[in-house]
Amino acid sequence: AVLAVAGGVAAREWQRVGGAKASVGLTSAYVAAFAGSHPLAKKIGAWPAVFSVAGAVAAVSWVATRDRG
């Protein structure tokens, strides 16, 4: 439930800052990262997997929504 709420808040912010295309792409990355963290956790551990995918989504989010002006 917390993941869904956080994803909804993030999607709304991505929409506001980056537009619909950015919001859809970043929401897809968010969901893929969550799904990918589980098999990754078996290889590197739970917390390292969480930090890795969270960092990756944060970096992609920053690139997709940063002010280019």
Query: Under a CB-based contact definition with an 8 Å cutoff, are residues 18 and 26 in contact?
Result: yes
Number of domains within the chain: 1
Question: What domain range includes position 55?
Answer: 2-65
The alpha carbons of the chain give a radius of gyration, in whole angstroms, of 13
* HEC sequence for the chain: CHHHHHHHHHHHHHHHHHCHHHHHHHHHHHHHHHHHHHHHHHHHCHHHHHHHHHHHHHHHHHHHHCCCC
pLDDT digits (tens, 9 = 90+) for 9-41: 999 999 999 999 999 999 999 999 999 999 999
pLDDT at residue 69 is higher than 70: no
Whole-structure pTM value: 0.82
